[in-house]
Structure 1
Amino acid sequence: MRKHVDNVLIIGGGLQGCAIAMSLARAGWQVTVVEKNLAGRHASGVNAGGLRLLMRDVREYPLSLRAMEMWANLSDLVGEAAAEACEVRLGSSQIALAMDAAELEWASARTEDMQCRGIRSEELIGPEELHRLLPGLANSALGGLISRRDGHANPANAARAFRDAAEAAGARILECCALRALKPKPVGGWCADTDAGFIEAELVVNCAGAWGANVAALLGETLPIKVLALTMMVTARVKPFITPVVIGIDQPLSFKQSAVGSLVIGGGISGKPCLDQDTSFTVMDRMASSATATVAAFPALAGVPVLRTWTGLEGATPDGIPIIGPSRKHQGLWHVFGFCGHGFQLAPAVGEIVAQSLITGDVDPRLAPFAADRFAPRSPRNDEVSQ
């Protein structure tokens, strides 16, 4: 069995892992990525491909803004041919529908709050402009939020592009290679037992996605993750009628129309996750709520047949934003996972910023909201104990 020594071992070959590997390899670091399936097999390659600032948690905005710049210049990262295959469509916008008074009130309050924070990517729009942008929209729609810069890309091709770019930069990508054990070395650094043999590295980055908490648990670190199997479905082709991506505020609604006319529909509906078996299944009864929300918004779609469905395993944190930062327990270990519904657009910026933090040894301030220790029980202060 071969022993290999690296600067960094990355566990997980999804978009986050490959983006970090690409940035580190281009800086001259020796990097190995171990992926027990194929790179991008789960959440990274089977999501809706949304490139959105719309309705993002404000804590993610510094990363999201940087990521949007990088998506706009994707050929600089992955090359022209790969970038073209990624089908990046920025500027087509994303729209969040307000289908009742409560949703419209929330949208108005959010717009005001975001403007107070100096964030003006979202606009409140009324029914007239909404219906102009979305022909066939139900008359019950009262308004919504629009982010005109937003768009979408092809997630499967993007996952492949980042994987290939990391490899071209010099990273070693080991697919179908499971991690069996991971231990800190007494003299510093790490030793991993994998299907490819023992791999030694100075640093480890846990990008294991839905399995991220399991990797942390191998080292006695508890991080809270709920595993979901978010489901997508695609319909038969219909005549092109919308350009924006449409999402719900409180409704399980998310859909876009592809270039060939089919509708790609999501809505955050979870199927059945089978983490131990590395797979997941669609639960068709649950998909009815997503279909119902879509038809309620666009009644003319009621007769359009669904051709196929699929799921991808994702991990969600209790506060809805990812974990990105050093382990609170082990020196030389980083956790970068928990991106459920948020990670696709953020990936280029996460790769760049995490890589720079590892290279300099200083955690970038933009990562502060995502620290792994934010879930640790807070120790009472001395004055609290004495009361």
Structure 2
Amino acid sequence: MFRQNETALIIGAGLQGCSIALFLARAGWNVTLLDKNIAGRHASSVNAGGLRTLMRDWREYPLSELAMHHWKHLDQLVGQDAAASCEVRLGVGQIAVALDEAELSWTYNRAQDMKERGLGAEELLSAKDVRQMLPGLTDKALGGLVSRGDGHANPAASTRAFREAAIAAGAQIVENCRVLGLDRAPGGGWAIETSSGAYGTGVLINCAGAWGAQIAAMAGQTLPLKVVAPSMMVTARTQPFLEPVVIGIDRPLSFKQSAVGSLVIGGGILGKPCADHDTSFTVMDRMTQGAAATLEAFPGLAHVPVLRTWTGLEGSTPDGIPFIGPGKNTSDFWNVFGFCGHGFQLAPAVGHVVSRSLVSGKVDPLLTPFSCARFNTGGAG
């Protein structure tokens, strides 16, 4: 028999929600996840799969380092076979390339700032260094930054692995279940009205991603969030030439070469979000910016055709880091959303630390920077 404070209902069964569910279920909690679509349908499965500490906001860095530990030992979370399916490749590195003097100056300032904070393992690269590490890189490259322990994974397989691990631990997932309203339950906890019926829980966790602010509003919380639609594209296969993930500094540059040779290109180019219809669209006129940035860095790729593009819906906060923590005067209502397109790598640590906070009844200090109160909006907490 579970006590009320050992029951959790999570709205949103993407990677963050499934990670929290996994850790809570293993701690003995009764956990239910609700998703208005199919679990992992949106940002969780359609991102670039970057496992990156490089160039993270310093406030995210401790959480990111904990997450990297979990990715290194993913088999302990999801099982050996599932971990293998996630295609985790760490140690190939992520490299930020400076293509002009302003970007090069930024790398020096970044390295100095991180050193003064005692954070990270980012190394400055000379022009010679960066060209040796990235065959085909333009002669314009002046240097860069590298985090050698970084890498990437398969996002769809990883989301599926966490989902199945959460279910194996005892969590229940209800799909195609849209939340229609929230209210305080007479005996304590929360009453949730959905398209599939009524649910009750002691602790309610909002992992609704691009729809996170809407769910928060149902609970009387006002949190600033912009819905965006980051775009991706993939090319035809080409001869293997690249192991590290390459990212830009002031350019929309982000790409890696997959195991089969195709290039997966991101870079923050935004499509058209249609959150009310649970979808988004590529804006082709914008996609040329990502292609141009890639060719500026690697001009020899001009002959490689783009085969397809896609988008995913995500929530973006004004300061570029997520909301992770309880709402105002609501220790039993947590917000965990607004990852601004770089939450994939953080997910195991988010699950670990949110679960640890709920089990102990005390918000973990690692979550302090992500407080829902940091904007001091009228209803935010």
TM range (shorter): over 0.9
Per-residue deviation, 1:328: 1.1
- The answer to whether residue 372 in structure 2 is matched with residue 372 in structure 1 is yes
Question: Is the 8 Å Cα contact of residues 210 and 313 (structure 2) preserved in structure 1?
Answer: yes
Q: Counterpart in 2 of 1:61? A: 61
- The answer to whether residue 340 in structure 2 is matched with residue 340 in structure 1 is yes
Q: Counterpart in 1 of 2:190? A: 190
Letter in 1 for 2:236: A
Per-residue deviation, 1:184: 1.3
Per-residue deviation, 1:173: 0.6
Stretches of 4+ moved more than 4 A in 1? none
Correspondence list, 1:60-99, <5 A: 60-99=60-99
Question: Is the 8 Å Cα contact of residues 6 and 200 (structure 1) preserved in structure 2?
Answer: no
Q: Counterpart in 2 of 1:275? A: 275
Correspondence list, 1:321-336, <5 A: 321-336=321-336
Measured in 1, the distance between the counterparts of 2:265 and 2:370 equals: 29
Q: Counterpart in 2 of 1:39? A: 39
Q: Counterpart in 1 of 2:143? A: 143
Question: 1:302-337, CA deviations, whole angstroms, 9 ceiling, x for partnerless residues?
Answer: 121100011000001000000000011534100000
Question: What is the aligned-residue RMSD (CA, Å)?
Answer: 1.3
Question: Is the 8 Å Cα contact of residues 9 and 201 (structure 1) preserved in structure 2?
Answer: yes
Letter in 2 for 1:175: E
Letter in 1 for 2:232: M
Question: Is the 8 Å Cα contact of residues 233 and 264 (structure 1) preserved in structure 2?
Answer: yes
Question: 1:193-220, CA deviations, whole angstroms, 9 ceiling, x for partnerless residues?
Answer: 1233211100100000000001011223
Letter in 2 for 1:207: C
Correspondence list, 1:211-222, <5 A: 211-222=211-222
The secondary structure found in structure 2 opposite 1:344 is coil
Letter in 1 for 2:207: C
Per-residue deviation, 1:84: 0.4
The secondary structure found in structure 1 opposite 2:290 is helix
Question: Is the 8 Å Cα contact of residues 5 and 199 (structure 1) preserved in structure 2?
Answer: no
Unmatched 5+ residue regions in structure 1? 379-387
Per-residue deviation, 1:259: 0.6
Per-residue deviation, 1:169: 0.2
Question: Is the 8 Å Cα contact of residues 6 and 32 (structure 1) preserved in structure 2?
Answer: no
In structure 2, do the counterparts of structure 1 residues 240 and 271 end up closer, same or farther at CA, with 3 Å as the change threshold? same
Question: Is the 8 Å Cα contact of residues 42 and 312 (structure 2) preserved in structure 1?
Answer: yes
Per-residue deviation, 1:366: 0.6
Q: Counterpart in 1 of 2:362? A: 362
Letter in 2 for 1:265: I
Measured in 1, the distance between the counterparts of 2:197 and 2:297 equals: 53
Measured in 1, the distance between the counterparts of 2:66 and 2:331 equals: 28
Question: 1:10-68, CA deviations, whole angstroms, 9 ceiling, x for partnerless residues?
Answer: 00001110000000001110000001111111111100000011000010111101100
Per-residue deviation, 1:5: 11
Correspondence list, 1:171-190, <5 A: 171-190=171-190
Unmatched 5+ residue regions in structure 2? none
In structure 2, do the counterparts of structure 1 residues 179 and 120 end up closer, same or farther at CA, with 3 Å as the change threshold? closer
Q: Counterpart in 1 of 2:167? A: 167
Letter in 1 for 2:299: P
Question: Is the 8 Å Cα contact of residues 5 and 200 (structure 1) preserved in structure 2?
Answer: no
Letter in 1 for 2:69: E
Question: Is the 8 Å Cα contact of residues 221 and 329 (structure 1) preserved in structure 2?
Answer: no
Count of residues in correspondence between the two structures: 375
Measured in 2, the distance between the counterparts of 1:120 and 1:237 equals: 34
The secondary structure found in structure 1 opposite 2:344 is helix
Q: Counterpart in 2 of 1:102? A: 102
- The answer to whether residue 27 in structure 2 is matched with residue 27 in structure 1 is yes
Question: Is the 8 Å Cα contact of residues 225 and 318 (structure 1) preserved in structure 2?
Answer: yes
Question: Is the 8 Å Cα contact of residues 357 and 363 (structure 2) preserved in structure 1?
Answer: yes
Point out the more displaced range, 97-106 or 194-203: 194-203
Question: Is the 8 Å Cα contact of residues 223 and 377 (structure 2) preserved in structure 1?
Answer: no
Correspondence list, 1:208-247, <5 A: 208-247=208-247
The secondary structure found in structure 2 opposite 1:375 is coil
Question: Is the 8 Å Cα contact of residues 61 and 120 (structure 2) preserved in structure 1?
Answer: no
The secondary structure found in structure 2 opposite 1:19 is helix
Measured in 2, the distance between the counterparts of 1:194 and 1:77 equals: 30
Measured in 2, the distance between the counterparts of 1:329 and 1:175 equals: 30
Letter in 2 for 1:39: A
Q: Counterpart in 2 of 1:384? A: none
Letter in 2 for 1:38: I
The secondary structure found in structure 2 opposite 1:288 is helix
Question: 1:216-252, CA deviations, whole angstroms, 9 ceiling, x for partnerless residues?
Answer: 1122321001111000000001111110000000000
Measured in 1, the distance between the counterparts of 2:354 and 2:330 equals: 17
Measured in 2, the distance between the counterparts of 1:38 and 1:133 equals: 40
